[in-house]
Structure 1
Amino acid sequence: MLQEFKTFIARGNVLDLAVGVIIGASFGAIVKSLTDDLIMPIVGAVIGGIDFSNYFVPLSSKVTATSLAAAREQGAVFAYGNFITVAINFMIIAWIIFLLVKAVNRAIPKKEAEAPAGPSDEVKLLTEIRDSLKK
């Protein structure tokens, strides 16, 4: 069993996956910083500085707080504003990844498909024989 495990780990696919996960986590941090620190402030300035993250509806009469974090400590809340913020972040991240993939696809030249090779000499000869026999 230990030998099988070593063989499994030594395969390139597992190592490729590990590298992909590590790079993906790092890339996720970069994209999160891009959206949180650069893009969302611009979006906030364009729409008048509205911060959706503190919009909520208290589900309990005990909740009297005005910020989402404080309201969650007091009881259950329906945090629709936080959902709107996360949805906007997702759309921005999806757009950035789309543009990145599009740029990479343009930068890396595609291999042209090789023209299919013509029939071999044997096939040509057999075709001629068949056609001769039909006459």
Structure 2
Amino acid sequence: MFTEFKKFIARGNVLDLAVGVIIGAAFGKIVTSLNESIIMPIIGWIFGDVDFSNWFILLGDIPADYTGSTQNYAELKAAGVPMLGYGDFLTQTVDFLIIAIALFLLLRTVNRVLDEMQSKAVEAENTEASAELPTDPQLDVLKQILAEMRSRPEAALKD
């Protein structure tokens, strides 16, 4: 069983997938940081210094012994207050859209490069194929005879 597992792990696809997952996780952290530290503050500034992380709807009562801010989502959540955090959902949605746009642009670029490489390969193949036509000496003689016959059609009829 261990040998089969080693063979499975050694396959290129599994290693490629592992590398993709690791890079994806790192890319996700970068996008989250970009979103939380740059994009959402700009959006908040445009809409009037709004912190989206504190947008929520209370679904229950705040405990009587709660001493924190009633406008802080993280503190209320830690206190166990039931609520809908739609600001956090909005932030995560923007994260997703950034990742989707980045992947779209990356895949579009890769597809264009691959299409260009494929068309160049086809062109090169066609050029090589036309340049590498066999030259048979008998074929050359036949071409000369045909050219001669075309230049003097009346001579060919007399013979």
Common topology (TM > 0.5): yes
Say which one has the larger Rg.
2
* Paired letter, 2:87: G
Gap runs ≥5 in structure 1: 118-135
**TM-score, normalised with respect to structure 2:** 0.59
Q: 2:88 matched to which residue of 1?
A: 82
Q: 1:101 matched to which residue of 2?
A: 107
* Paired letter, 1:15: L
Q: 1:127 matched to which residue of 2?
A: none
Gap runs ≥5 in structure 2: 127-159
Per-residue CA distance 1:50-99 (angstroms, 9 max, x = gap): 22221222222235722111222142112222222222332233223323
Within 2, Cα distance between the matches of 1:74 and 1:26? 31
CA contact under 8 A between 1:59 and 1:77: conserved in structure 2? yes
**TM-score, normalised with respect to structure 1:** 0.68
Per-residue CA distance 1:21-78 (angstroms, 9 max, x = gap): 1121122222222222232222222222222221222222235722111222142112
Structure with greater helix percent: 2
Shift of 1:111: 0.8
Q: Percent identity?
A: 48
* Paired letter, 2:75: A
* Paired letter, 1:61: D
For these two proteins, the number of residue pairs brought into alignment is: 116
CA contact under 8 A between 2:31 and 2:95: conserved in structure 1? no
* Paired letter, 1:111: Q
What is the SS of the residue equivalent to 1:111?
A: helix
* Paired letter, 1:97: L
Q: How do residues 20-99 of structure 1 correspond to structure 2 at under 5 angstroms?
A: 20-62=20-62, 65-72=70-77, 73-99=79-105
* Paired letter, 2:82: A
Within 1, Cα distance between the matches of 2:9 and 2:36? 37
Within 2, Cα distance between the matches of 1:16 and 1:46? 42
Within 1, Cα distance between the matches of 2:37 and 2:110? 24
Q: 2:129 matched to which residue of 1?
A: none
